[in-house]
Copies of this chain bind each other. A is one copy, B any other.
Amino acid sequence: MSRLLIVGSVAFDDLELPVPTPPNSGKWEMHKDVWGGSASYASLAASLFTPVDLVAVIGDDFPQAHLDSLQTHGVDVHGVERAKGKSFRWAGRYDGTLSSRTTLDTQLNVFADFRPKIPAAGRRAPFVLLGNIHPALQLEVLEQIEKPKLVVADTMNFWITGERALLGKLLEKIDVLVINDEEARQLGGHHNVSRAAQAIRAMGPKMLVVKRGEFGALLFDAPSSEQSTFFAPAYPLEDVYDPTGAGDTFAGGFMGYLAHVDSKGGTVDRAALRRAIFAGSAMASFCVEAVGPSRLLTLTGAELRARLEAFRKLVHVEHDAEALSLLR
């Protein structure tokens, strides 16, 4: 089995979410101490496809039950360090349409002094997912690992503006960058996403995945968007409860799928990358159906297969066999 190393945050989130029923209720409800963190979502998503080695730090307030749950789902938690103090904590409030959110509070806590130490199994993992943490730490992880086949990293606005030089070093060492629209525009220096993508690819990563939330994801893997770009929609859900962690779940599903392909003797080629985008999007569509990562914990392979099949139908077009006989 091709193992996947995931490094990132494991945290508590306080979420203020609009009450889902009836729609447009105009009321909010507070969910406190929800299990969160980029690496939690990514690990749970990837674990459907491949065994995961998780490296993160938690405080003495973090429940053992969550670690047990990860372990039950095929995530090796030996690399999760328990430090003295409180776990990383984020608090946010979503707007009534779930299309934007405001950060109310961020407490780094034990994360402030985190220096990732990769256990032996993790160092040999052929697939590596660097969650959105300080680029210096992402670089430290890369120094510890042996010969990865594919390294994927996430980042955010905060590092794009504040740690541009270190981020530049990181970009030279990774294969795929997975970021959202806004980050791509900021990093690439163009509002036009195709232009921004080409500027980012010139900084190092051979491939760029741009996450667009409810509008799906784009994959750029060639010098011109006309040569090769791939677009996948988001699965159109009627009930979305909590978008928290959807992007991390996407990245986990994407990488988990690719590790799975490798395990089965397949090649991580363009066709596999396109299917990985669907796998990530399908996982993200489950994530948002419930508060926190709870839906990922109950998700079965049969449910995932059914959604991937529905997804396939959603984008399927039978093209005309005969050429269009146009009027001019």
Contacts and interface: CB of A to CB of B under 8 A. Distances in A.
Given A215-B212, A305-B326, A315-B230, A194 B237 contact: yes
Contact of A24 (B190, B240, B326): B190
Interface residues of A, number: 67
A305 B190 CA distance: 29
Contact of A304 (B97, B212, B326): B326
Given A237-B194, A274-B317, A323 B305 contact: yes
Interface stretch (A44-52, A82-90, A127-135, A171-179): A44-52
A211 interface: no
B48 A327 contact: yes
Contact of A74 (B240, B278, B308, B327): B327
State how many copies of this chain the complex holds.
Answer: 2
A195 B193 CA distance: 28
A48 B328 contact: yes
A315 B215 CA distance: 14
A273 to B, nearest CB: 10
A178 to B, nearest CB: 18
Contact of A236 (B189, B218, B236, B304): B218
Contacts of A218: 236
Given A317-B278, A326-B305, A231 B229 contact: no
A225 to B, nearest CB: 5
Interface string A206-245: 0000001011101000001110111111001111100000
A229 B24 CA distance: 23
Contacts of A78: none
Interface string A276-301: 00100000000000000000000011
A194 B285 CA distance: 14
Contacts of A97: 191
A271 B318 contact: yes
A64 interface: no
A301 B317 contact: no
A236 B229 contact: yes
Given A230-B315, A300-B328, A324-B260, A238 B194 contact: yes
Interface in A139-190: 189-190
